[in-house]
Chains A and B, each alone.
Chain A
Amino acid sequence: MDNRFIFIFLVFAPLSLFSFGGGQAIIAEMQHQVVDVQHWMTNQEFVDLFALSRAAPGPSTLIAALIGWHVAGFLGALAGTLGIYLPSSIVMYAAIKWWHAQADSPWRRLLQRGLAPIALGLVVASAATVLQAAQANTLQLVVAVVGAGLLLYTRIGPYPLMAAAATGFGVLHFL
C-alpha cells in the first residue's frame, strides 16, 4: 500500500469528524486544505469539481472521491471516500447502538418527541441552504414553489417534474 493513499485518507478523516449537519459545513475547510495546504489543484478546479459533485447523484461529500481520483487515480478515490465517511460513521454507529438499546425507555420516547420540531426546522433550513448555495434566481424560486404545490395537491410524482424542469431549463439555455 502506497502511503499516498494513507495520506489522502488522513486529509479527509478530520473533516469527516467535523461534518455536522452534512457536507455543507466542511466544504470551505476542504477547499482550504486541498487548494492552499496540499496544493493538489487550483481553486477553479475545486469549484468545478464541487459543481460536478452537486450535479451527480449521491451525497455532495462524494467530492472527496473526485479529489482522491484527481490526486492518485482509482485507489485515491477510494481513500478519499473512506476518509470522508468512515470516521463519522464510527461515531454514528456508537450513537445508534446506544439509541436502539433504549428502545423501550420513556426517555427515548421523550427525546424522539422533543427532537421532532428540531428536525422539522432543520429540514426546512436545508431547503434554504440549497437555494443559497445554488445562488438561485427568481425563475428557480417560482418553479420550486409551483413544483411543491403540484407535489402536494396533485398526483404528479417528482420524477416527471424533475425531467420537465431539467428539459425546460435546458431549452432556455438555447434561447
Chain B
Amino acid sequence: MTSEPSAAQQHVSLTALFLAFFRIGMSSLGGSGQAWLYRELVQKQRWLDEQEYLGAMTLSQVLPGANPVNMALYVGQKFKGGFGGVVGVLGLVGPPFVIILILGVLYAEFGASTLVRDVMAGMIAIGVSMVLQLAVQLSRNIREIVPGIIAGAIFVAVGLLRWPMIPVVLALAPLSLGFEYFAAQRKPPDG
C-alpha cells in the first residue's frame, strides 16, 4: 500500500462524510470501532493512507475524547473544515444515540436479559478478532527492530500491566521520534 493517490486532492462531499461515519458508528459493536475506522477510512474510501491514519489515531488517543469521535473530527476537518467535522460526528453519534435510548426504554420495561449478555459475549469475541487482524496488518509495515520494540512495550505497559496511558506514551514517544529523526538523517528521504 505505498502508491495510493494523495488524499489531499480528493473531493469528499458532506453526504459522503456523514454516510461513512454512519456506517462506522452502526458497525462498531463489541469493541471493534478501531478496526471499522481502518476498514472504512483507509481500505474502502482511501481518504487516509496508513501513515496518516496512524498519526491521526495517535492524536485521537493522546487527546481527550472518544477515539472514533476524534477521528470523525480529523477526517471531517481535513476535507470540509470545522463544519465537516460536525457532520462526521453527527453521522457517527446521531443514529447510535437514538438506538441506545430505545434500548434504554426496553431495559426499563423488561430489565436486563442474560441472553443479551451471552449474545454480546460472542460479538465481543469477534470485535477482538477484528482488532487482532488490524494489529497484524499494521505491524507488517514496521520493518525495523526499534519501532517494533516500542510498539511491543506500549502494548505490554498499557494493555497487560494497565499502566496509565499518558505517562507511558510521553516516555516512549521521544524515543520513537528520536529514532526516526536519526534514521532520516542517515538515509536521504525518497520521494
Q: Is the CB of A120 within 8 A of B151?
A: yes
**B60: chain A residues within 8 A (beta carbon):** 92
| A30 adjacent to chain B (CB < 8 Å) | no
Asked if A59 meets B54 with Cβ closer than 8 Å, knowing A123-B138, A151-B133, A162-B29, the reply is no
| A134 adjacent to chain B (CB < 8 Å) | yes
B28 to chain A, nearest CB (A): 6
Asked if A118 meets B150 with Cβ closer than 8 Å, knowing A123-B135, A134-B124, the reply is yes
Q: Is the CB of A122 within 8 A of B61?
A: yes
**Complex: A138 Cα to B57 Cα, angstroms:** 30
| A66 adjacent to chain B (CB < 8 Å) | yes
Interface residues on B, range: 35 or more
Q: Is the CB of A54 within 8 A of B125?
A: no
Q: Is the CB of A89 within 8 A of B93?
A: no
Asked if A89 meets B89 with Cβ closer than 8 Å, knowing A65-B100, A120-B142, the reply is yes
List B141-191 residues whose CB lies under 8 Å from chain A. 141-142, 147-148, 150-155, 158-160, 162, 165-166, 169, 172-173, 176-181, 184
Asked if A173 meets B118 with Cβ closer than 8 Å, knowing A96-B73, A103-B8, the reply is yes
Which residue of A122, A128, A158 has the most chain B CB atoms within 10 A of its CB atom? A122
Which residue of B52, B65, B155 has the most chain A CB atoms within 10 A of its CB atom? B65
**Complex: A29 Cα to B12 Cα, angstroms:** 39
| B5 adjacent to chain A (CB < 8 Å) | no
Q: Is the CB of B118 within 8 A of A20?
A: no
B104 to chain A, nearest CB (A): 5
Instruction: List the 9 shortest-distance A-B pairs measured between CB atoms, nearest first.
Output: A121-B154, A58-B96, A147-B129, A125-B159, A88-B65, A169-B122, A128-B159, A165-B122, A130-B31
List the interface of chain A (C-beta within 8 A of B): 16-23, 25, 48-49, 51-62, 65-66, 69-70, 74, 77, 81, 85, 87-89, 91-93, 95-97, 99-100, 103, 108, 110-132, 134, 136-137, 139-141, 143-148, 150-152, 158-159, 161-162, 165-170, 172-173
List 19 interface pairs A-B (beta carbons < 8 Å), by A numbering: A17-B64, A20-B165, A49-B104, A57-B96, A60-B66, A85-B69, A88-B66, A92-B65, A116-B54, A116-B55, A116-B142, A122-B58, A125-B158, A126-B131, A127-B159, A129-B159, A147-B126, A165-B125, A168-B122
